[in-house]
Structure 1
């Protein structure tokens, strides 16, 4: 009878003190990215704006820790937006731009492209990275109220584009998820786009009548 040896069995046959070598990770070869400098600074690398193998390894490790795909060491927009959210976690409202209220407020910071939910000064969700409106279709500033929700909405304005977990807060503008990567294709048409997992979590938290406060200005049109 043929005997199939498992890795555990093979290991048992090795001489004492011998070890099974683990495959080394593939070399990190991503080129310099558009957000190289802020990633270098945050990851305590020499800030020269030029990718090195050690820079690439550090960025790749950050991407892997944050669940970003691909985790390839390239300093792209998704990695930078995630970095901003991570840096804001201790106190996203440190500057005091989002009004502190006794009720639930969804805070939307267009300048940093962040969203979080707070009650009084307690953060109940986030901060998370977002994608807001592009130039000429900016997300509107000020106080808003969630007036309608539709879990599997299709846009009536943009060719039935899917808007999962849509929560409308001002005219046609809504908080909603994207099936595609969050930062593909530039800004939105005015909605607040969220990663799908974040859109679902926000759907479970918010209700019709909840308040949304938007402020700031998105820099440029990219992302």
Structure 2
């Protein structure tokens, strides 16, 4: 049973990384795209976020700034258009920043479990707490896209593999900590705001994945709640 469970974790867990890699590879041509002269529906909001003059009119400088943001976070097509995907990423960043150092202000992540890793899908944030004490975070994460949502509820870390590699796709998944079937915390070399998301895993930066590895152990609780925007 253990071997079957492990093999299924390998197969399912890799889906948290396969599509993001595809996105990263296919986004390269978009980086060479020329700038659009068209103002987008979120022009003013995007201009404000980027510190540009807020006039709602597209300029060459506006487009270059928007395009640089899109390229940085893997938003395609990267043509400098202030559309809903670009503004959605910026809006999420604003909401994440507003949380500050009180990610569990609403009390939705259990405080009676001792050490626990919390994942707020709505804000795409995760943190580790011990009772009501914040231990680490909050940090931005990248969770399951529409149709492959990271499953909600109370779970436990049941398998950890620091150098995990999928035997199916030969894709590295460093610092993997599995907590629900093939869904796991693990690091990726992508922006945490790279849309549309993973195939179920909770993607993290290498720095944050390493920290989670040092703080958590097999048997520790994980609580996932909320709903990722766009799912």
TM-score category of the 2 structures, normalised to the smaller one: 0.5 to 0.7
Other-structure match for 1:105: 116
User: What are the Cα deviations for residues 137-176 of structure 1, in whole angstroms up to 9, with x where unaligned?
Assistant: 111110000111111111245x122111100001111000
Other-structure match for 1:23: none
The structural deviation recorded for 1:85 is 2.9
Contact 2:163 2:174 (8 Å CA) reproduced? yes
What does 1:90-101 correspond to in 2, within 5 Å? 90-101=101-112
Q: CA RMSD in A?
A: 3.7
Matched, 1:186 2:228: no
1:195 to 205, 220, 228: 205
What does 1:117-136 correspond to in 2, within 5 Å? 117-136=128-147
Q: Closer, same or farther in 2 for the Cα pair 1:176/1:140, shift >3 Å?
A: same
Distance (whole Å) between structure 1 residues aligned to residue 166 and residue 61 of structure 2: 45
- Provide the TM-score with structure 2 as the length reference: 0.63
Q: Which has the higher contact order (CA 8 A, sep 6+)?
A: 2
Other-structure match for 1:114: 125
Contact 1:89 1:126 (8 Å CA) reproduced? no
Distance (whole Å) between structure 2 residues aligned to residue 101 and residue 169 of structure 1: 19
Contact 1:107 1:212 (8 Å CA) reproduced? yes
Segments of 5+ residues of structure 2 without an aligned counterpart are: 1-34, 75-79
Higher-Rg member (1/2): 1
- Provide the TM-score with structure 1 as the length reference: 0.65
What does 1:210-221 correspond to in 2, within 5 Å? 210-220=220-230
Other-structure match for 1:89: 100
More helix, by proportion: 2
Segments of 5+ residues of structure 1 without an aligned counterpart are: 1-28
Count of residue correspondences = 182
